[in-house]
Amino acid sequence: MRELYHVVNALPPVDNAFAGTVATDVINMKNWGHCSFLIQCGAGAEGQAQITVEACSDTTPTNTITISFFYQECVAGDTFGSIIKPVDSNGFETSAAADKIYKIEVDNQMLASTGYNYVRVKSVEKVVGAITGGVLAVLTEARFISEIPDSALV
C-alpha cells in the first residue's frame, strides 16, 4: 500500500478568495506528522497577500500563535522555486501573477513548542485585486493506518 494521506478542502475555491483577511479551516494534526497546504491561484494577476501559518489551541480557534514554516512558489507551469523558510513567523507576501501555486510545509515539530495540535493558514490582503483561488491541506505521516482516516477538522 502506498503512503496513507488525507486531503482537506481547507478553503474551497471561489472568486476573490483572498479579499480582506481570510483563514483556512483549522486542521487537527494530532494523528499526522506533516501538513502541506497548497494555495492555488487562478485568474487575477494583481492581488497580493501576506501569508502566515498559525498554531491554534482548538478548532474555534480560541488562541493562535504564528509559527515559522517552509514554502515554495510556482508562478509558471509546474516548476517551483527553492524551498524558503521565512526569517520569522511574519510569513511572506505573494507575487502579483495569475495561475500560481504555493506549497506551505508544516511539521508537527513546528507546533510542539506552542503546545497546540491545530494549524491553519491565514491570508491578509496587501494589494487589492480579485484572485480566484482556494487552499487544499494534504496530511501525511499518519500515526495510525486506516483505510478511511478520521476527520482532521475536529
DSSP states along 67-88: E--EEEEE-STT-----B--SS
Q: Distance between CA atoms of 64 and 24, rounded to whole angstroms?
A: 13
pLDDT in tens, 46-83: 888 999 999 999 999 999 999 999 999 998 888 999 99
Q: Distance between CA atoms of 31 and 149, rounded to whole angstroms?
A: 9
- In the structure, what pLDDT confidence band is assigned to residue 87 with cuts at 50, 70 and 90? low
Percent of the chain with pLDDT over 70: 96
**How buried is residue 52: exposed, middle or buried, by Cβ count under 10 Å (0-12/13-18/19+)?**
buried
pLDDT over threshold 60, residue 1: no
Q: Which residue has the higher pLDDT, 4 or 121?
A: 121
Q: Which grid cell sits at 81?
A: 522555486
Go through the domains of the chain in sequence order and give each one's CATH number.
Answer: 6-141 (2.60.120)
